[in-house]
Amino acid sequence: MVESLFAQPPVSAAPVRAGDTVLVLAPMGEAVSLGAFAGAGRAALVARVRETFGVDLPEQPRAVPSADGQVVFVWCGPTQWLALAAGDAVEGGLMARLRAACGDLCALTSQSDSRTTLRLFGPQAREVAGRLVPVDLHDAVFGPGHVALTLAGHIPVIFRQVARNPVTYEFLVFRSFAESLFHDLHVAMNGALS
């Protein structure tokens, strides 16, 4: 008899707290990577995304929402982006929308099953994140919309700030590293209160 397999969260879904600072497994909507084809494909891709989504693809480490707020485009390199759908979007809808809009100009790859998002927020979030990421997190340097492709301890992440008040960071990490990163963040949270 065939049994159905259901996706299991890579870490506990229960929030972890240290004082007023919280670490939680964030809902992960659909994620699709965009890789511009060589040559004139990049300029055409930027124009097509602007026409369809009402936003310019970021040219530097930033995350920008589409005009309708349903997609966030995250810079991942000079010709690479990660499109993240709003959590309540229909699964497969982002890929279909991107394929129709620009599938002839870039490679599209679903990343939905490969990534996990951990969200850290609260009054000590900057201090906790600073214990793991080698990024200047001063408010004047790294604020909402900023992105860093970096390491959190020894784990590769796409790190971004999503809000200023309260300070909120997201760590996009490969699912296989999520449990280790969750543990490292939990340890860093306890150290921030010492």
Q: What is the DSSP code string of the chain?
A: ---------SS-SS-EEETTEEEEEEP---EEEEEEPSTTHHHHHHHHHHHHHSSPPPSSSBEEE-TTSSEEEEEEETTEEEEEE-TTSPTTHHHHHHHHHHTTTEEEEE-TTTEEEEEEESTTHHHHHHTT--S---TTTS-TTBEEEEEETTEEEEEEEEEETTEEEEEEEEHHHHHHHHHHHHHHHHHHT-
Q: How far apart are CA 126 and CA 133, in angstroms?
A: 10
Q: What is the pLDDT of residues 157-171, one digit of tens each?
A: 999 999 999 999 999
Q: What is the pLDDT of residues 112-163, one digit of tens each?
A: 888 999 999 999 999 999 999 999 999 999 999 999 999 999 999 999 999 9
Mean pLDDT, all residues of the chain? 91
| Percentage of the chain modeled with pLDDT above 90 | 79
Which pLDDT belongs to residue 34?
Answer: 96
For the cut 90, the answer to whether the pLDDT of residue 28 exceeds it is no
Q: Model's pTM, two decimal places?
A: 0.90
For the cut 70, the answer to whether the pLDDT of residue 60 exceeds it is yes
For the cut 90, the answer to whether the pLDDT of residue 17 exceeds it is yes
Which strands form 80-85's sheet, in the order they lie side by side? 63-65, 71-77, 80-85, 31-36, 106-110
For the cut 70, the answer to whether the pLDDT of residue 1 exceeds it is no
> How many residues are present in the chain?
194
